[in-house]
Amino acid sequence: MAAAKLLLTDFAFTVNHVPSNYIRPISDRPNLADVQTSDASIPVIDLQGLYGPNHSVIVHQIGQACQEYACQEYGFLQVKNHGVPEAMINNMVNLAREFFRLPESERLKNFSDDPSKANRLSTSFNVKTEKVANWRDFLRLHCLPLEDHVLEWPSNPPSFRKVVAEYCTRVRGLTLRLLEAISESLGLKRDHIDKTLSKHGQHMALNYYPPCPQPELTYGLPGHTDPNLITILLQDDVPGLQVLINGKWVAVNPIPNTFIINIGDQMQVISNDRYKSVLHRAVVNCEKERTSIPTFYCPSPDALIGPAEELIDDEHPAVYRNFTYADYYKKFWNRGLATECCLDMFKASNS
């Protein structure tokens, strides 16, 4: 038998069949013909006037997009005029592509299959626990505080650290604005969520999905919810992200210069289930490589997470018990990506 491949990228370009360890059981395949492609299904919110006279209108729009309304379950929104310069976005996407095009020997300097390692290159999701592999390589980075991590980031391409540091600083600014707006939309103090997170954490992934000869048989990432607080996703111009809305998978086609924002499990907890951490997945295609760059904003590991007291009353009892983010995160990585939400393990009672 050939030696197991550590990374997918170069290997993917040499095969004309999906190797058996990537093939999903028939009951768990993407059924791409059933996916809806309605561009209007995920709200696009213009953040231009967030600090002007339209403040409360925009806060309201954000709140609506985070919850169920008009019989639609969202938990996903897109934002434009978000304050991250277009050039910075383009630099980031180009850099990610450049990184995955480096010779494999160069990329492998960053390899680790240990999920507890902060900054590492790996493949699939968690190669130590999963039964079926995913058609993805990824570089995972911690970004906060920057100076604790930058020296562990790749140094090749030579501009890597500078470009990523600039990008994640700007994205952090956007995230803090969104967290204020979301707090407000829940009727909480503006700084409620900010304060709940203790020291805050910011992680990032550079996801690389090589072209796949049989995209019907496998996933880039199977359906999952994000375990963190809120995710700010940048995708290149190749479609692949899909969101489960009313039981149907809907493609979120790329809009230039727009970020996709999704509510993560911790936001669902803090909001006491008012806001939803929605299932989403990444599918692959046979023609084009695809790059996506999610920023995962999260509580620090020691932060105590639980429903906001202001959102608990007789009609809305606490749905979740309090827990530390470290507890949650460990459970998430150990159980693997699964459509049953990890949140169920943190419910207030077993009712």
Which listed option, Ni ion, ligand OGA, none, makes contact with residue 292 (CB within 5 to 8 Å by class)? ligand OGA
Q: Closer CB to ligand OGA, residue 45 or residue 244?
A: 244
Taken in order 309, 340, 64, 45, is the CA torsion positive or negative? positive
Question: Given the rule CB under 6 A, which of 17-25, 72-80, 191-199, 235-243 is the region that contacts ligand OGA?
Answer: 235-243
| The one among 65, 77, 221, 250 contacting ligand OGA by CB under 6 A | 221
Name the strand (E) or helix (H) holding 64. Answer: helix 55-66
Q: Closer CB to ligand OGA, residue 180 or residue 236?
A: 236
Which listed option, ligand OGA, Ni ion, none, makes contact with residue 240 (CB within 5 to 8 Å by class)? ligand OGA
Does residue number 226 form part of the binding site for Ni ion (CB under 5 A)?
yes
Least CB distance to ligand OGA at residue 260 (A):
8
Least CB distance to ligand OGA at residue 170 (A):
20
Q: 243, 282, 247, 285: which is closest to 263 by C-alpha? A: 243
Does residue number 265 form part of the binding site for Ni ion (CB under 5 A)?
no
Please state the separation of Cα 7 from the chain's center in Å: 21
Could you say which DSSP state residue 240 is in? -
Does residue number 140 form part of the binding site for ligand OGA (CB under 6 A)?
no
Residue type, 111: F
Does residue number 292 form part of the binding site for ligand OGA (CB under 6 A)?
yes
| The one among 100, 196, 280, 320 contacting ligand OGA by CB under 6 A | 280
Residue 148, Cβ neighbours under 10 Å: how many? 11
Give DSSP secondary structure letters for 181-218.
HHHHHTTS-TTHHHHHTTT-EEEEEEEEE---S-GGG-
Least CB distance to ligand OGA at residue 321 (A):
25
Least CB distance to ligand OGA at residue 242 (A):
8
Q: Closer CB to ligand OGA, residue 143 or residue 205?
A: 205
Q: Closer CB to Ni ion, residue 133 or residue 230?
A: 230
Identify whether the C-beta of residue 124 lies closer than 8 Å to the C-beta of residue 336: no
User: What proportions of the chain, in percent to the nearest 5, are helix, strand and coil?
Assistant: 30, 20, 45
Does residue number 236 form part of the binding site for Ni ion (CB under 5 A)?
no
- Left if phi > 0, otherwise alpha if psi is -120 to 50, otherwise beta: which for 23? beta
d(CA 89, CA 330): 31
Least CB distance to ligand OGA at residue 138 (A):
7
Q: Closer CB to Ni ion, residue 160 or residue 262?
A: 262
Name the strand (E) or helix (H) holding 232. Answer: strand 230-235
Question: Where do contacts with ligand OGA occur on this chain (CB under 6 A)?
Answer: 205, 207, 221, 226, 235, 240-241, 280, 282, 292, 294
Question: Where do contacts with Ni ion occur on this chain (CB under 5 A)?
Answer: 226
